[in-house]
Chain A
Amino acid sequence: MTLDAVSVLLAAASPVFLLVGALGLVRLPGVFNRMHSTTEATTLGASSALLAAALHFRSGASLTAVLAILFLFATAPVGAHLISRAAFEEDMKPPQNQKIGDS
Protein backbone atom coordinates (compact mmCIF):
# COMPACT_ATOMS: atom_id res chain seq x y z
CA MET A 1 0.00 0.00 0.00
CA THR A 2 2.72 2.43 1.00
CA LEU A 3 4.86 1.34 -1.92
CA ASP A 4 1.96 2.06 -4.27
CA ALA A 5 1.67 5.58 -2.85
CA VAL A 6 5.42 6.13 -3.33
CA SER A 7 5.11 4.86 -6.90
CA VAL A 8 2.29 7.30 -7.70
CA LEU A 9 4.25 10.13 -6.09
CA LEU A 10 7.34 9.37 -8.19
CA ALA A 11 5.25 9.07 -11.36
CA ALA A 12 3.80 12.51 -10.61
CA ALA A 13 7.23 14.01 -9.84
CA SER A 14 9.00 12.82 -12.99
CA PRO A 15 7.31 15.17 -15.52
CA VAL A 16 8.08 18.11 -13.22
CA PHE A 17 11.80 17.36 -13.56
CA LEU A 18 11.42 16.85 -17.31
CA LEU A 19 9.53 20.12 -17.77
CA VAL A 20 12.04 22.13 -15.70
CA GLY A 21 14.90 20.72 -17.77
CA ALA A 22 13.16 21.44 -21.08
CA LEU A 23 12.25 24.96 -19.91
CA GLY A 24 15.92 25.63 -19.15
CA LEU A 25 16.81 24.25 -22.57
CA VAL A 26 14.54 26.82 -24.20
CA ARG A 27 15.26 29.84 -21.97
CA LEU A 28 18.96 29.75 -21.05
CA PRO A 29 21.62 31.31 -23.30
CA GLY A 30 24.52 29.30 -24.73
CA VAL A 31 25.23 25.60 -25.14
CA PHE A 32 26.91 25.10 -21.76
CA ASN A 33 24.08 26.67 -19.78
CA ARG A 34 21.52 24.62 -21.67
CA MET A 35 23.44 21.41 -21.05
CA HIS A 36 23.78 22.27 -17.37
CA SER A 37 20.00 22.59 -17.16
CA THR A 38 18.98 19.49 -19.08
CA THR A 39 21.51 16.80 -18.18
CA GLU A 40 20.76 16.42 -14.48
CA ALA A 41 17.06 17.31 -14.64
CA THR A 42 16.11 14.87 -17.38
CA THR A 43 18.22 12.10 -15.83
CA LEU A 44 16.35 12.61 -12.55
CA GLY A 45 13.01 12.68 -14.38
CA ALA A 46 13.64 9.46 -16.27
CA SER A 47 15.03 7.75 -13.15
CA SER A 48 12.00 8.65 -11.07
CA ALA A 49 9.67 7.38 -13.79
CA LEU A 50 11.63 4.10 -13.96
CA LEU A 51 11.67 3.81 -10.16
CA ALA A 52 7.90 4.39 -10.12
CA ALA A 53 7.49 1.57 -12.65
CA ALA A 54 9.76 -0.71 -10.58
CA LEU A 55 7.68 -0.07 -7.46
CA HIS A 56 4.44 -0.46 -9.45
CA PHE A 57 5.19 -3.94 -10.81
CA ARG A 58 7.38 -5.43 -8.02
CA SER A 59 8.34 -8.43 -10.18
CA GLY A 60 11.17 -9.44 -12.46
CA ALA A 61 10.54 -6.37 -14.60
CA SER A 62 11.59 -4.21 -11.64
CA LEU A 63 15.13 -5.47 -12.12
CA THR A 64 15.02 -4.19 -15.71
CA ALA A 65 13.95 -0.78 -14.47
CA VAL A 66 16.72 -0.66 -11.84
CA LEU A 67 19.23 -1.70 -14.51
CA ALA A 68 17.99 1.12 -16.76
CA ILE A 69 18.43 3.60 -13.87
CA LEU A 70 22.01 2.44 -13.26
CA PHE A 71 22.71 2.68 -16.99
CA LEU A 72 21.30 6.22 -17.16
CA PHE A 73 23.40 7.37 -14.21
CA ALA A 74 26.52 5.88 -15.79
CA THR A 75 26.02 7.22 -19.32
CA ALA A 76 24.40 10.65 -18.93
CA PRO A 77 27.58 12.33 -17.60
CA VAL A 78 29.68 10.65 -20.30
CA GLY A 79 27.34 11.85 -23.05
CA ALA A 80 27.23 15.38 -21.64
CA HIS A 81 31.03 15.44 -21.41
CA LEU A 82 31.35 14.37 -25.05
CA ILE A 83 28.84 17.02 -26.22
CA SER A 84 30.59 19.75 -24.21
CA ARG A 85 33.98 18.70 -25.61
CA ALA A 86 32.59 18.85 -29.15
CA ALA A 87 31.15 22.31 -28.42
CA PHE A 88 34.47 23.47 -26.96
CA GLU A 89 36.32 22.21 -30.04
CA GLU A 90 33.97 24.32 -32.16
CA ASP A 91 35.34 27.43 -30.39
CA MET A 92 32.23 27.99 -28.31
CA LYS A 93 33.74 29.21 -25.07
CA PRO A 94 31.72 29.40 -21.84
CA PRO A 95 30.42 32.97 -21.45
CA GLN A 96 32.01 35.40 -18.98
CA ASN A 97 30.01 37.86 -16.84
CA GLN A 98 26.73 36.90 -18.45
CA LYS A 99 23.32 38.25 -17.49
CA ILE A 100 20.22 36.09 -17.54
CA GLY A 101 16.66 37.38 -17.84
CA ASP A 102 15.46 40.94 -18.25
CA SER A 103 17.99 42.63 -15.93
Chain B
Amino acid sequence: MTASGVASTALVAAAAACLLAAYRLLDGPSLPDRMVALDTITTTIVAVSALYSIATDREFYLLVSLVLGIIGFVSTVAVAKFVEEGDIIE
Protein backbone atom coordinates (compact mmCIF):
# COMPACT_ATOMS: atom_id res chain seq x y z
CA MET B 1 0.00 0.00 0.00
CA THR B 2 1.37 3.40 -0.92
CA ALA B 3 1.80 6.34 1.42
CA SER B 4 -1.14 8.20 -0.11
CA GLY B 5 -3.37 5.13 0.27
CA VAL B 6 -2.50 4.78 3.96
CA ALA B 7 -3.07 8.51 4.46
CA SER B 8 -6.47 8.32 2.73
CA THR B 9 -7.53 5.47 5.02
CA ALA B 10 -6.27 7.41 8.03
CA LEU B 11 -8.35 10.38 6.90
CA VAL B 12 -11.52 8.30 7.20
CA ALA B 13 -10.62 7.26 10.77
CA ALA B 14 -9.77 10.85 11.70
CA ALA B 15 -13.15 11.95 10.35
CA ALA B 16 -14.77 9.34 12.59
CA ALA B 17 -12.90 10.80 15.58
CA CYS B 18 -14.19 14.25 14.57
CA LEU B 19 -17.76 12.91 14.51
CA LEU B 20 -17.36 11.39 18.00
CA ALA B 21 -16.16 14.76 19.29
CA ALA B 22 -19.09 16.45 17.52
CA TYR B 23 -21.45 14.19 19.46
CA ARG B 24 -19.95 15.51 22.72
CA LEU B 25 -20.15 19.05 21.34
CA LEU B 26 -23.91 18.73 20.70
CA ASP B 27 -24.80 16.56 23.70
CA GLY B 28 -22.35 17.85 26.34
CA PRO B 29 -24.32 18.81 29.45
CA SER B 30 -22.16 21.80 30.40
CA LEU B 31 -20.28 24.60 28.65
CA PRO B 32 -16.77 23.30 29.58
CA ASP B 33 -17.69 19.95 28.01
CA ARG B 34 -18.34 21.75 24.75
CA MET B 35 -15.05 23.65 25.08
CA VAL B 36 -13.17 20.37 25.44
CA ALA B 37 -14.98 18.98 22.39
CA LEU B 38 -14.13 22.06 20.30
CA ASP B 39 -10.47 21.85 21.34
CA THR B 40 -10.45 18.18 20.35
CA ILE B 41 -12.00 18.94 16.95
CA THR B 42 -9.41 21.68 16.29
CA THR B 43 -6.47 19.40 17.07
CA THR B 44 -8.04 16.62 14.98
CA ILE B 45 -8.38 18.96 12.01
CA VAL B 46 -4.66 19.83 12.33
CA ALA B 47 -3.97 16.10 11.95
CA VAL B 48 -6.47 15.86 9.06
CA SER B 49 -4.68 18.64 7.20
CA ALA B 50 -1.29 16.98 7.68
CA LEU B 51 -2.68 13.63 6.48
CA TYR B 52 -4.31 15.35 3.50
CA SER B 53 -0.95 16.82 2.52
CA ILE B 54 0.45 13.27 2.38
CA ALA B 55 -2.59 11.90 0.52
CA THR B 56 -2.50 14.54 -2.21
CA ASP B 57 1.30 15.07 -2.16
CA ARG B 58 0.94 18.83 -1.72
CA GLU B 59 3.23 20.58 0.78
CA PHE B 60 0.94 23.59 1.03
CA TYR B 61 -1.41 21.88 3.49
CA LEU B 62 1.33 21.72 6.15
CA LEU B 63 1.18 25.52 6.32
CA VAL B 64 -2.60 25.21 6.63
CA SER B 65 -2.20 22.87 9.60
CA LEU B 66 0.26 25.22 11.33
CA VAL B 67 -2.08 28.20 10.94
CA LEU B 68 -5.08 26.14 12.06
CA GLY B 69 -3.16 25.17 15.20
CA ILE B 70 -2.46 28.81 16.00
CA ILE B 71 -6.09 29.81 15.39
CA GLY B 72 -7.29 26.92 17.53
CA PHE B 73 -5.09 27.95 20.46
CA VAL B 74 -6.22 31.58 20.26
CA SER B 75 -9.89 30.55 20.10
CA THR B 76 -9.46 28.24 23.10
CA VAL B 77 -7.91 31.06 25.13
CA ALA B 78 -10.67 33.45 24.06
CA VAL B 79 -13.51 31.08 24.95
CA ALA B 80 -11.91 30.18 28.29
CA LYS B 81 -11.60 33.87 29.15
CA PHE B 82 -15.21 34.46 28.08
CA VAL B 83 -16.48 31.66 30.31
CA GLU B 84 -14.43 32.83 33.27
CA GLU B 85 -14.96 36.59 33.17
CA GLY B 86 -17.96 37.19 30.91
CA ASP B 87 -16.17 39.40 28.39
CA ILE B 88 -13.04 39.10 26.27
CA ILE B 89 -11.93 42.66 25.53
CA GLU B 90 -11.77 44.86 28.59
Contacts and interface: CB of A to CB of B under 8 A. Distances in A.
A38 to B, nearest CB: 5
Nearest to B43: A42
Nearest to A53: B50
Given A12-B6, A49-B50, A90-B31, A83 B13 contact: no
A56 B54 contact: yes
The binding surface of chain B is classed by DSSP as helix
Contacts of A54: 62
Interface in B55-90: 59, 62-63, 65-66, 69-70, 73, 76-77, 80-81, 83-84
Contacts, number: 179
B24 A18 contact: no
Q: How large is the interface on B (under 10, 10 to 19, 20 to 34, 35 or more residues)?
A: 35 or more
A52 B54 contact: yes
A89 B32 CA distance: 10
B80 A75 contact: no
A19 B16 contact: yes
A15 B10 CA distance: 6
A31 B23 CA distance: 15
Contacts of B70: 71
Contacts of B9: 12
B36 A38 contact: yes
B3 A4 contact: yes
Contact of B69 (A21, A34, A72): A72
Q: Which 9 residue pairs are nearest across A and B when measured between Cβ atoms? A: A15-B13, A61-B59, A87-B32, A22-B20, A82-B80, A22-B17, A18-B17, A46-B47, A49-B47
Interface of A: 4, 7-8, 11-12, 14-16, 18-19, 21-23, 25-26, 31, 34-35, 38-39, 42-43, 45-46, 49-50, 52-54, 56-57, 59-61, 64-65, 67-68, 71-72, 75-76, 78-80, 82-83, 85-87, 89-90, 92
